[in-house]
């Protein structure tokens, strides 16, 4: 695959979608479209990144994102090497800096990092010469998820999101997915609503470019898509939700809610899903559900991200 000669990718790293212009975001998604076509072929592997190496440094547990990047790298013929917290010296007290310098000494072309600490990806990007791709850092950002979500919507809405409204429903407080999607969807022209119990809305949410709701019946009226979020049970120790059954009764997306949305409204979820808690099982599997489309989109988008950053010429910005 030949990169569009009229467009030079300017970024050394992908830390969040906030760094991308509309033109850059669309170029990345256009590139993903080409890889998506390759992924439909009987032989899916191409020699695009042969000789390049990609380190998958996942200090936080992941199934979808890690596997998606691994498949993306292998389909581009890159050498991929996976490293988890349990398999690294982080468990022995080694600092992130020293782990990063060790990885850098191996001379990778791209390091994909997921870390529990907000800002971890930027920390590496400021210290290492290779490309850094943020696969999720704390509650801060998850740019590749937002890009694959946009790519999935693009298959139905086309390139122009203006006139479309999307509702993000659930645990907004702890969600890096919500933060990155709000930024990107606004860039692409969509209107965004968020809905959650007040205890799961972050401080300052009224300053976000969104309309805020606490009542799902009101929030879902006329929307073109609903993105449910995983209720992060491991982060609920603070007692923000007194009763999970009450949450399910009030905020689980059901057929009754979807009937209030625009005809043909799409349903999304970044996974893993807690069926019956965040989303009714029949809605997760309905014809309008993009849940499996998001998984397929993730491979194409991450192929584009690895391609653009591994083949980028020196001298670009962060």
Domains of the chain: 17-142+296-310 (3.40.50.1370), 143-294 (3.40.50.1370)
At residue 255, the pLDDT reads: 97
| 235 in a known ligand binding site | no
pLDDT digit string (tens) for 4-58? 456 899 999 999 999 999 999 999 999 999 999 999 999 999 999 999 999 999 9
Bridge partners (DSSP) listed for residue 213:
195
Query: Sheet containing 225-228: which strands, arranged edge to edge?
Result: 211-213, 191-195, 165-169, 225-228, 266-268
At residue 50, the pLDDT reads: 97
| 75 in a known ligand binding site | no
List of E strands, the chain = 53-58, 79-84, 110-115, 131-137, 165-169, 191-195, 211-213, 225-228, 266-268
Q: Once rounded to an integer, what is the mean pLDDT over residues 236-245? A: 68
| 179 in a known ligand binding site | no
User: 314 or 211: which carries more pLDDT confidence?
Assistant: 211
The set of residues, in sequence order, having a beta carbon less than 8 Å from that of 194 and lying 6+ positions away, is 167, 168, 169, 172, 178, 182, 201, 205, 208, 210, 211, 212, 213, 219
| 270 in a known ligand binding site | no
| 256 in a known ligand binding site | no
| 40 in a known ligand binding site | no
Q: What percent of the chain has pLDDT over 70?
A: 90
| 272 in a known ligand binding site | yes
pLDDT digit string (tens) for 291-318? 999 999 999 999 999 999 999 876 445 5
Query: What is the longest distance spanned by two Cα atoms in the chain?
Result: 56
pLDDT digit string (tens) for 84-109? 755 455 554 568 888 888 888 889 99
pLDDT digit string (tens) for 262-289? 999 999 999 999 999 999 999 999 999 9
CA–CA distance, 2 with 40 (Å, rounded to integer):
19
Tell if the pTM clears 0.85, that is, is over it: yes
| 5 in a known ligand binding site | no
Q: Once rounded to an integer, what is the mean pLDDT over residues 171-195? A: 97
DSSP string, 163-178: T-EEEEES--TT-HHH
Is the pLDDT at 145 greater than 50? The verdict is: yes
CA–CA distance, 143 with 137 (Å, rounded to integer):
10
At residue 225, the pLDDT reads: 98
Q: In 10 A of CB 223, how many CB atoms?
A: 24
At residue 316, the pLDDT reads: 46
Is the pLDDT at 167 greater than 70? The verdict is: yes
């Amino acid at each position: 695959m030949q990169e569009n000669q009229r467009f030079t990718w300017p970024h050394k790293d992908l830390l969040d979608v906030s760094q991308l212009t509309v033109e850059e975001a669309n170029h990345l998604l256009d590139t993903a479209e080409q890889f998506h076509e390759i992924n439909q072929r009987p032989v899916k592997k191409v020699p695009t990144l042969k000789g390049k190496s990609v380190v998958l440094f996942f200090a936080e547990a992941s199934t979808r994102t890690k596997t998606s990047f691994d498949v993306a790298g292998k389909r581009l013929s890159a050498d991929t090497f996976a490293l988890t917290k349990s398999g690294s010296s982080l468990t022995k007290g080694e600092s992130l800096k020293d782990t990063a310098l060790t990885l850098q000494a191996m001379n990778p072309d791209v390091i994909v990092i997921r870390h529990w600490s907000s800002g971890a990806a930027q920390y590496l990007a400021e210290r290492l010469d290779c490309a850094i791709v943020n696969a999720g850092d704390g509650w801060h950002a998850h740019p590749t998820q937002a890009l694959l979500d946009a790519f999935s919507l693009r298959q139905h809405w086309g390139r122009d999101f203006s006139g479309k409204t999307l509702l993000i429903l659930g645990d907004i407080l702890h969600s890096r997915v919500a933060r990155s999607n709000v930024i990107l969807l606004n860039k692409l022209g969509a209107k965004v609503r968020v809905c959650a119990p007040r205890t799961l809305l972050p401080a300052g949410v009224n300053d976000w470019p969104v309309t805020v709701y606490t009542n799902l019946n009101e929030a879902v009226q006329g929307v073109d898509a609903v993105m449910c979020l995983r209720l992060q049970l491991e982060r609920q120790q603070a007692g923000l939700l007194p009763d999970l059954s009450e949450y399910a009764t009030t905020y689980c997306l059901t057929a009754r809610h979807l009937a209030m949305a625009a005809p043909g409204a799409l349903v999304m979820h970044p996974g893993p899903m807690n069926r019956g808690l965040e989303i009714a099982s029949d809605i997760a599997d309905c014809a309008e559900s993009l849940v499996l489309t998001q998984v397929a989109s993730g491979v194409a988008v991450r192929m584009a991200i690895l391609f653009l950053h591994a083949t980028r010429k020196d001298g670009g910005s962060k």
